[in-house]
């Protein structure tokens, strides 16, 4: 299971625990009733009746937190990262010299460009630069997997050291 999905599931568990504790402290509910109330709110089955004003405000916050955690878990489950994607990016940032500044530069990936046709992973391996975003016809897409290929005519935002960015500029001339 990928770490981002684990984090989303941990967020769901945290919302359940905090919801239970909140009902015990705010509404003085017995533990079992508080757990059932928190789970019911998270499952959108209903809200506890007879709540005080602070309890109603807490329930509203719990509903919002629950929806956010559920949406995050579903999105992470339906869009798992490509095998090795997180490790590749973590490796890039852990191996970058600490004193060297990173810059972002936009490149046009025309035909004949050293970027056109390469996967984001290949750009990272070949040039040492991270593709931050790819723009084809609309806005920049910052959530493309490392296996996505750069299409000719796309604009690409690259993140890297000044030396790496200059190296990419030299290759495209």
Q: Each residue's pLDDT tens digit in the chain (173 positions)?
A: 566 667 878 888 999 999 999 999 999 999 999 999 999 999 888 888 999 999 999 999 999 999 988 888 887 777 665 555 555 555 555 555 555 678 888 888 887 788 888 888 888 888 888 888 888 666 777 777 778 888 888 888 888 888 888 888 777 65
pTM, 2 dp: 0.48
Tokens of 24: 């015990």
CA distance 59 to 42: 10
CA distance 129 to 152: 18
SS3 137: coil
CA distance 93 to 32: 46
Contact (Cβ atoms closer than 8 angstroms) between residue 17 and residue 10: no
CA distance 6 to 104: 31
**Which domains are delineated in the chain?**
3-78 (1.10.287.70), 85-172 (3.30.70.1450)
What secondary structure letter does DSSP report for 119?
B
């Amino acid at each position: 299971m990928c770490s981002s999905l684990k984090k989303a599931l941990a967020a769901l568990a945290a919302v359940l625990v905090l919801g239970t504790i909140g009902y015990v402290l705010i509404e003085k509910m017995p533990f079992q009733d508080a757990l059932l109330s928190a789970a019911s709110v998270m499952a959108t089955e209903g809200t506890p009746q007879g709540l005080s004003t602070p309890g109603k405000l807490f329930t509203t916050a719990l509903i919002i937190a629950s929806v956010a955690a559920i949406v995050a878990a579903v999105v992470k489950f339906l869009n798992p990262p490509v095998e090795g994607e997180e490790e590749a990016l973590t490796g890039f940032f852990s191996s970058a010299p600490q004193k060297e500044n990173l810059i972002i530069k936009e490149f046009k990936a025309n035909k004949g460009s050293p970027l056109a046709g390469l996967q984001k992973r290949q750009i990272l391996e070949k040039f040492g630069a991270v593709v931050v975003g790819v723009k084809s016809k609309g806005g920049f897409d910052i959530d493309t997997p490392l296996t996505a290929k750069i299409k000719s005519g796309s604009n690409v935002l690259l993140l890297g050291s000044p030396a790496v960015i200059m190296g990419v500029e030299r290759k495209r001339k």
